Amino acid sequence: QGPLVESGGGSVQAGGSLRLSCVTSGDTFSNYCMAWFRQAPGKAREGVAIIDSSGNARTADFVKGRFIISRDNAKNTLYLQMNSLNADDTAMYHCASKRYGGCWSLEPSIYSNWGQGTQVTVSS
């Protein structure tokens, strides 16, 4: 798998929406477990959502009902639709991937490939 490149971040008012994308190269994207993480200044990186190669997905409790993770294997692209944003969602958002060992954990240390991130800023 090639580098992961995120896009779609920006500044938005509380209650607004953004859609993040993460694109990569190579012909094995469909074999990878993909996830979104975020990190706010002074805070630890935390897992937001995870999706396996078949499209089975789950989101962290703190974004459940607001964020949706999806993937398009034909386009080598991962998405994060973020709705009803609030100031607590302000962070750098990173996509990450892993190929082996299952696809259920949002523990950052088990992910081998990371993007540089895209900044999301929500103003109240």
**Coil/strand/helix, residue 80:** strand
**What residues have CB less than 8 Å from 43, skipping those under 6 apart?**
91
27 pLDDT more than 80: no
**For position 51, what pLDDT does the model report?**
98
**For position 100, what pLDDT does the model report?**
86
In the 8-state DSSP scheme, what is residue 70?
Answer: E
19 pLDDT more than 90: yes
Average pLDDT value for the chain: 96
In sequence order, what are the beta bridge partners of 59?
49
- The confidence band for 48, taking pLDDT boundaries of 50, 70 and 90, is very high
- The confidence band for 41, taking pLDDT boundaries of 50, 70 and 90, is very high
Strand pairing of 46-51 and 33-39? antiparallel
